[in-house]
Amino acid sequence: MGTHHGHDHHHHSHGTNKKVLLLSFIIITSYMVVEAIGGFVTNSLALLSDAGHMLSDSVSLGIALIAFILGEKAANISKTYGYKRFEILAAVFNGITLMIIAVFILFEAIERFANPPVVATTGMLIISSIGLIVNIIVACIMMRGGDTKDNINMRGAFLHVLSDMLGSVGAILAALLMMFWGFGWADPLASVIVALLVMRSGFYVTKSGVNVLMEGTPENLNMDEVILVIKQTKGIISIHDLHIWSITSGLNALSCHAVVDDAMTISESEEILRKIEHDLGHYGIQHVTIQLETTAHKHDESVLCQIKDEQNGHHHHH
């Protein structure tokens, strides 16, 4: 019963996530164009770097959008999990692009510290202020309608928008410093700060994406707790060969071998499995595969899988 409810909720949030992303994508992309043109016209690197940041933003929103659409495509024979991994690939790609953009901005900024060019500060101030407002609106739309807490895709997009806001604030401050005190270095400084923010978010997005691609244990999951949940289930003697991994964000899978009493009937074992599945559901593990064995079956004492090479791994078959 519980799982069914969970799925409905999942679909609901996907639909709203898609609407939210589409709206945010349109707003951000159109403003990015404005900001890029503004950056060229006013000759402000802070504006240009913020536009670069917005570009990465709109790319990440676009990718997240495609990922949701593709992720809904059903599983088929060649891809038994459907296209759910696409959003992870997208996140990794996006993270790497971010880091590259950041490096470019840093190089350009170093150049500008050496010889600060003349910047049209009034235009810069106006454009960056509008940029800040645009970002605040998008952030509100995302907070309201999207699942920014649990979905790596939505969270990635949301973090972008937040660091974008800081970028706009930086550009506003730089414009004010140049207008009132004539500090030419304020512009490249603001762009360096933006670049570092971009670098940081790029790194984290890439890191969590790579963990999923490496079939790593989901970051927010406590392995020991999960092992305890299974072991404490009445009827389970011990477990081994345990694997836990993410298919995509918020969709975790687990497989293991469990040793049970020889005299257990199939229907009894099924009850145990149902209970384990239900308990693991609370840990965000929706996909559980457990192979039941009796104590007679040769197995390792270690909970994690010990993969041996072919020659001696299978000697007890012969």
Query: What average pLDDT is seen over the chain?
Result: 81
Specify whether the CB–CB gap between 124 and 221 falls below 8 A: no
User: What is the location of CATH 3.30.70.1350 in the chain?
Assistant: 223-317
Q: Is the pTM of this model over 0.85?
A: no
What H or E segment, with its residue span, contains residue 119?
Answer: none
By mean pLDDT, which of 46-55, 263-272, 306-315 is the weakest?
306-315
pLDDT at 97: 83
- Which CATH architecture describes the domain 2-213? Up-down Bundle (1.20)
Which stretches of 146-185 are DSSP H helices?
152-181
Q: Please check whether residue 217 is in contact with residue 246, taking contact to mean a CB–CB distance below 8 angstroms.
A: no
- The larger pLDDT score, comparing residue 238 to residue 16, is at 238
Residue range 163-182, pLDDT digits in tens:
788 888 888 999 999 999 98
Higher-pLDDT residue of 229, 49: 229
Identify the CATH assignment for 223-317 out of 3.40.190.10, 3.30.465.10, 3.30.300.130, 3.30.70.1350: 3.30.70.1350
How do residues 39-95 score in pLDDT, each as one tens digit?
889 988 888 888 877 877 787 788 778 777 776 666 666 665 666 777 788 778 878
| Predicted confidence (pLDDT) per residue in 94-103, tens digit | 788 888 888 9
